[in-house]
Amino acid sequence: SLGKGISSASLGRLLKSRGLKITLQKIDPYINVDPGTMNPFQHGEVFVTEDGAETDLDLGHYERFIDQNLTIDNNVTSGRIYGKVISKERKGEYLGATVQMIPHITDEIKKYIRALVKREDFDIVITEVGGTVGDIESLPFLEAIRQLKNDLGKENILYIHVTFIPYIKQIGELKTKPTQHSVKELRSIGIQPDIIICRSDRQLTKGAINKLSLFCDIEPEAIINNIDVEEIYKIPLYLQKEGLDEIVIKKLNLKSKESDMKDWKKMLDKANKSKEITKIGLVGKYTRLKDAYLSVNESLKHAGFANSCKVETTLINAEHLLDKDADEVLNKYQ
């Protein structure tokens, strides 16, 4: 996973720490109406919001990072969009017009995005588009967000591209060519990224940043490095150090207070000082994929933070308990 969800959630945390009223939204290009009936081995957990909506697991990350309850409006799928448009066509709401991808599908997508702003008058809505640049199923959504720049005014919208910078061990070099090509693909459909977040396993060199700046037509300070870390809750502070929130505020010409991440730092400091280890066995059906129980794992981790201990969770396949003595398997977690 590239980490678009964590990057979005981290940016949300940083902007909220500046006193801005924010929310996040995930767009999933699959045809399913929601992930409720999807195989957990393929998709990971289904995150259920307070209004009962079955949504993508990234909404769990959003809630944990920004400390806000989200709703069904914060997750949009192709299935819901197409279903809505077909329903309108059957009712005659398009007055006999030929229903097409543009403008009918793209207009419906824009309605879902703008509905969040109208609901609570947020300062910023961060919308994450799932998938990869070039995916056929993502094209209507990318076209819709391209159109939003004209609809809302270029001063009110910002495009952030999250990309991967591979390191070729044999030659000891970070390769920027894949990112150059993905930006070229975005530009071919009318989207020029304002910021690039570069996921890599090490710090970008000045040469790599300058090359990306030259070929992607982005100022060097808008190229943000997002290196691998052991603990995802460190990422907001790392992105803050890289200046992500500052450049977003600057480009959108927003007024905000100074960032206050004291509570976040306190939580991480408490977690880092934890020495006691608590082992917990989690019995379940879909234990082959850790993401199938992501929210449970994160809840246990948070409980550990609060109680100054590290929680080590082991996923136990329930079927294995039928083959062995359950006491033998579970005793070590008492």
Please say whether the dihedral angle defined by the alpha carbons of residues 72, 9, 36 and 86, taken in this order, is positive or negative.
positive
Return the structure tokens found at 3.
Answer: 């980490």
Task: Please state the domain extents for the chain.
Answer: 4-157+229-260, 274-333
Measured between its terminal Cα atoms, the distance across the chain in Å is 34
Rounded Cα gap, residues 43 and 41, in angstroms: 6
**Architecture field, domain 4-157+229-260:** 3-Layer(aba) Sandwich (3.40)
Tokens matching residue 141: 């959504």
Q: Are strands 167-168 and 173-174 parallel, antiparallel or unpaired?
A: antiparallel
220 token code pair: 């060097």
Total residue length of the chain: 334
Q: What is the pTM assigned to this prediction?
A: 0.93
- Per-residue pLDDT of the chain (334 residues), as tens digits, is 688 999 999 999 999 999 999 999 999 999 999 999 999 888 899 999 999 999 999 999 999 999 999 999 999 999 999 999 999 999 999 999 999 999 999 999 999 999 988 888 899 999 999 999 989 999 999 999 999 999 999 999 999 999 999 999 888 899 999 999 999 999 999 999 999 999 999 999 999 999 999 999 999 999 999 999 989 999 999 999 999 999 999 999 999 999 999 999 999 998 888 889 998 989 899 988 889 999 999 999 999 998 889 999 989 888 877 766 777 777 766 6
How far is the CA of 108 from the CAs of 29, 41, 89, 145, 190, in angstroms?
A: 14, 31, 12, 12, 20
Instruction: Of 64, 58, 130, give the one whose Cα is nearest residue 291.
Output: 58
Helix spans in the chain (H): 4-16, 40-43, 58-66, 78-90, 106-120, 139-152, 177-188, 206-216, 235-241, 244-252, 262-273, 294-306, 320-323, 326-330
